[in-house]
Amino acid sequence: MIGRLNGRVAVVTGGASGIGEATVRRFIAEGARVVVADLQGEAGQALQSELGDRTRFIQTDVSQEADVAATVDLAVSSFGRLDVMFNNAGILGAVGRLVDTTAGAWHATLGVLLDGVFFGMKHAARVMIPQGSGVIVSTASIAGITGGVGPHAYTACKHAVIGLTRSAASELGQYGIRVNAIAPGNTVTAMTAAAITGDPDQLEEATRTIASTSLLGIPGLPSDIANAALYLSCDESRYVSGHTLVIDAGHTSNGGSARVHRARPALLAEAGRRTPTTASPDV
């Protein structure tokens, strides 16, 4: 089926790379007009230039409510409405043992992974409620389904995204708004490449590693998550709300044993690029 999003307007946060970029491309192919929101200015501008008039780019820090509000407002001012809000922007965040994680790294992680989703839901709802329709999709993770497959702050946030999805669905359904989440397993992106290899550019090595540990023997690709986002955003899922769609080759059903908690310094990773936290070590 072609044109499943004809006439629809979407916002994709973290839309300049990885899962977000794949989703932007898929939405455009299915007839949508898309606002790409991302901190990565150069990549975002390049994507807009490539995809043309059916896209807009806005540099966005999702941890800042004013930025998220401006992104939603750009969708409305440019395209007249907002039909799909995909809260996808993410970081790996604070990494390391509980006792080594600073308050600064913890709160910075929550700012992106949880506050950013809340702000996206809030400001999408602000536009969608008067319309009487809309779809909100958020990227969770299998780390939000089980423990031990993600860093502590990341895991806490992804559990919270799933809970917030259910809570928002229970409120917004009366306005014709569906709210769902996607829980990817290992997916080949710069962020996972950095986590697996220490280098965000080592996508080929990450692909081999993910395929070798997959129950299906194949790697999870950004396009696999984009396909899920498309399903949850179009009318084929018209009776689906409050749901978390797990895309992980059966990893969680098998009780996967991946462990990421190692004696490493706490750090922040933005779009796969690592920078030390500026928080003092005693907080």
Q: What is the CA radius of gyration of the chain?
A: 18
Question: Which residue has tokens 């992104």?
Answer: 71
According to DSSP, the residues that pair with 269 across neighbouring strands are 274
Check if 175 is active-site: no
How far apart are alpha carbons 166 and 179 in whole angstroms? Answer: 7
Contact yes or no for 85/139 (Cβ under 8 A): no
| Alpha carbons within 13 A on the beta-carbon side of 123 | 24
3-state secondary structure 158-220: HHHHHHHHHHHHHHHHHHCEEEEEEEECCECCHHHHHHHHCCCCCHHHHHHHHHHHCCCCCCE
Please identify every residue annotated as catalytic: 154
